[in-house]
Amino acid sequence: MRIIAGKYKGQQIVAAGNNSIRPTTDRIKESIFNVLGDFVLDARVLDLFSGSGNLGLEALSRGAASVTFVDKSANSLRVLRKNVQKLKVSEPVQIVKKDILAFLRQNKQPFDLIFADPPFKWNRFVELLPLAFLPENLTDFGLVVLESERTHDIEWETNVYEVIYQKQFDRSIISIFSRKGVIDE
């Protein structure tokens, strides 16, 4: 894996040596960041299921103000710390070892951009998305980027949030959500 663009462009990062972790491919990552464009600049980012930090580190490279990485795997967080050190990241970074849903229930500092890239077997989206859209977790104009398996049953639109972009890749589907009615079509 590598950082595609920005300050850390071309730098290699390592993935956790764990078969349960499915790093976002460069192709998918490039698609996500092409859609996000300048939205990443100066954003406070939350990288849930952070694994090796692939998405959050790419966001930092492209101008995010800070990233909070959350994962419950000690092995993943060990690899993430190595990647942060290898890149000599100068932006504020917080690394939290915690269950994702527990973190969202307790957080009180809203983010501008939330990445959620759970393992394919994870299927608690009915809890994840409503928690992500709480005012304590996401700013009014914030976005949630979700990578999921195409077969997962996900509530794509509610009275709180809606999909503003979606694209399928092999087994994955990338969905970008905003608060309902915030983004003009």
> Could you report the per-residue pLDDT of 62-95, keeping only the tens digit for each?
999 999 999 999 999 999 999 999 999 988 999 9
Contacts of 97 (CB under 8 A, 6+ apart): 71, 72, 74, 77
22 vs 175, which has greater pLDDT? 175
> Which has the closest alpha carbon to 142: 151, 152, 134?
134
Q: Answer whether residue 170 shows pLDDT above 90.
A: no
Q: Answer whether residue 21 shows pLDDT above 60.
A: no
pLDDT at residue 22 in the model:
58
Give the DSSP H or E segment for 144: strand 138-149
At 111, phi and psi to the nearest 5?
-110, 160
pLDDT tier at 183, thresholds 50, 70, 90: confident
20 vs 149, which has greater pLDDT? 149
> Which has the closest alpha carbon to 146: 171, 165, 121?
165
What sign has the CA pseudo-torsion 85, 87, 90, 92?
negative
CB 142 within 8 A of CB 112: yes
Query: What pLDDT, in 10s, does the model give residues 89-146?
Result: 988 999 999 999 999 999 999 999 999 999 888 888 889 999 999 999 999 999 999 9
Instruction: Characterize the bridge pairing of strands 161-169 and 172-179.
Output: antiparallel
Q: Answer whether residue 184 shows pLDDT above 70.
A: no
Q: How many residues does the chain have?
A: 185
What sign has the CA pseudo-torsion 77, 83, 85, 90?
negative
The 3-state DSSP class for residue 99 equals coil
Contacts of 46 (CB under 8 A, 6+ apart): 67, 68, 70, 111, 113, 114, 115, 137
pTM of the model: 0.93
pLDDT at residue 87 in the model:
93
Domains of the chain, start order: 26-179 (3.40.50.150)
| pLDDT over 70 percentage in the chain | 94
